[in-house]
Amino acid sequence: MIMKKETPGQNPPDLTVAIGGLVLKNPVMTASGTFGYGEEYVPYCDLNRLGAVVVKGLSLEPRLGNPPPRIIETPSGMLNAVGLQNVGVRAFLSEKLPFLRRYDVAVIANIFGETVDQYRRVAHILSGAAGIHALELNISCPNVKKGGVAFGARPEAAAEVTANVRAETDLPLIVKLTPNVADIAEIALAVEEAGADGVSLINTLTGMSVDIEKRIPHLANVTGGLSGPAIKPVALRMVWQVVHAVKIPVIGIGGIMTAADALEFLIAGARAIQVGTANFVRPSATMEIIDGISDYLTRHGLGSIDKLIGSLNTNPSNGD
Ligand SMILES: Cc1cc2nc3c(=O)[nH]c(=O)nc-3n(C[C@H](O)[C@H](O)[C@H](O)COP(=O)(O)O)c2cc1C
């Protein structure tokens, strides 16, 4: 094996990471539902620079989502109850994917269904399409009555849907986990055993907000999913727990607004990260985060991101 010589300050650090068979040029992805299908972000981001684009969740048929109001700002975050509005998997392939194919970027299709069979069929349709590099299985949406988190809250159900999709596709398979459970590591282990190549976490935390003058919920759905800086410490704790429970790569999500936030997840052991709510606040956030990670590695004399991932020292008094 040829060892790479570290020459800090000369070569840019190697940011390449692998998730199963999927090799990414850097660990920064967009989180599903916060970047549409990529097109709106072109004025702000060079899509070629992203590790991956994770597209809005796709279902077998188009969905209108929940009635408005569907979004409300909260201290240090936002609540959404969009309800998985999307164009449907076939329209995605004919109308949205051709645009993304023009770029040199990995495209990860986030998928969901109301039944195991629907998940399987969406996976089947996407597996035959050129330009899809991996699937992310959403078993964690808190805003739909059927499907979503119903599959992600119990290890048996999570394993069943994972195994069924695994049997349907050779694409790298990432399973996205919900934080709205007692033991997230137990679910992560179940999907690892069922054939997942990686897990991503966390999806939103179920929350609520009340208009005190009208005495009605701010969201028509009553409850919604909390995202943004408010959830970062919870997400980081869960990522750290899951990193120690499974052998497959873990993708960290939750309140990542800056490169410093992303670095916390990587040091805690996440192989890659996704940026969500930050895209609404600063549409070029992903570009700043990639640059910031690279600058940090250079500043610390680390030639590759591998040297950083999982380097957390939980016993600092015991030396380095
Ligand atoms: C408006 C909105 C829509 C979302 N839609 C999806 C979706 O379709 N599928 C999914 O798996 N996650 C969806 N999410 C969850 C995000 O991908 C992410 O897991 C979550 O927002 C936490 O990350 P953040 O704090 O960086 O936003 C959505 C989040 C928001 C705010």
Q: 213 C-alpha to center of ligand 1: Å?
A: 29
Nearest-CA residue for ligand 1 atom 22 is 254
Question: What is the per-residue pLDDT for 318?
Answer: 66
Instruction: Verify whether ligand 1 is closer than 6 Å to residue 56 (CB atom).
Output: yes
Residue ranges of alpha helices (H) inside 270-313 are 278-281, 285-299
Position 1 scores a pLDDT of 42
User: Which tens digits make up the pLDDT trace of 237-274?
Assistant: 999 999 999 999 999 999 999 999 999 999 999 999 99
pLDDT tens digits, residue range 70-83?
Answer: 999 999 999 999 98
Q: What is the DSSP secondary-structure string of 127-155?
A: HTSTT--EEEEE---TT-SSSTHHHHSSH
Q: Which residue puts its alpha carbon closest to atom 6 of ligand 1?
A: 33
Domain spans in the chain, listed from the N-terminal domain onward: 17-62+84-206+228-318
**Rounded average pLDDT over 36-60:** 96
CA dihedral (194, 253, 48, 9) positive or negative: negative
Could you confirm whether 141 is annotated as catalytic? yes
Q: What is the DSSP string of 234-247?
A: HHHHHHHHHHHH-S
**Residue 312 falls in which region: left (phi positive, over 0), alpha (psi -120 to 50) or beta:** beta
Q: Is residue 255 within 6 Å of ligand 1 at its C-beta?
A: yes
176 pocket-lining for ligand 1 (C-beta < 6 Å) = yes
> Is 54's pLDDT higher than 50?
yes
What mean pLDDT is predicted for residues 104-122? 96
Among 149, 227, 273, 275, the mutation site with the greatest number of ligand 1 atoms within 8 A of its Cβ is 227
Cα 54 to Cα 57, 123, 155, 169, 257, distances in angstroms? 9, 15, 24, 18, 17
277 lines ligand 1 (CB under 6 A): yes
* Residue to mutate, 35, 71, 203, 221, ligand 1, most ligand atoms under 8 Å from C-beta: 203
Give 224 Cα–ligand 1 centroid separation in angstroms. Answer: 11
- pLDDT computed for residue 182 by the predictor: 94
Query: Given 79, 141, 268, 278, which residue is catalytic?
Result: 141
Amino acid 197: pLDDT: 98
Q: Tell me which of 28, 29, 34, 108 to substitute to probe ligand 1's pocket, judged by most ligand atoms within 8 Å of the beta carbon.
A: 34
Residue 57 contacts residue 87 (beta carbons within 8 Å): no
Q: Is the CB of 269 under 6 A from ligand 1?
A: no
Query: How much distance in Å is there from the Cα of 157 to the middle of ligand 1?
Result: 22
| Mean pLDDT, range 46-50, rounded to an integer | 98
To the question of domain 17-62+84-206+228-318 being in CATH 3.20.20.70, the answer is yes
Nearest 10 degrees: Cα torsion 81, 134, 25, 45? -40
CB distance 253 to ligand 1 below 6 Å: yes
Residue 96 is classified by DSSP as: I
Q: What percent of the chain has pLDDT over 90?
A: 89
Mean pLDDT of 180-194: 97
Residue with tokens 């119903």: 150
Q: Please name the residue whose Cα sits nearest to atom 29 of ligand 1.
A: 33
pLDDT for 140? 84
Ligand 1 mean position to 291 CA, how many Å?
23
Q: Quick one: average pLDDT of 222-230?
A: 97
Q: Are 252 and 270 in contact (CB under 8 A)?
A: yes
Atom of ligand 1 nearest to the CA of 140: 11
Say if residue 95's pLDDT is above 80. yes
Phi then psi for residue 200, to 5 deg, are -120, 140
Residue 302 C-alpha to ligand 1 middle, in angstroms? Answer: 32
Residue 169 amino acid letter: T
The angle subtended at Cα 93 by Cα 62 and Cα 138, nearest 5°, is 60
Q: What is the pTM of this model?
A: 0.95
Question: CA dist 148 to 64, 109, 173, Å?
Answer: 16, 15, 17
| Tokens encoding 301 | 């004399």
Neighbours of 80 (CB within 10 A): 24
Residue 146: the pLDDT is 65
- Determine whether the shortest distance from the Cβ of 254 to ligand 1 is under 6 A: yes
Average pLDDT along the chain: 94
Provide the pLDDT for residue 148. Answer: 66
Kindly indicate the confidence band of residue 11, based on its pLDDT and cuts at 50, 70 and 90: confident
pLDDT > 70: percent of the chain = 94
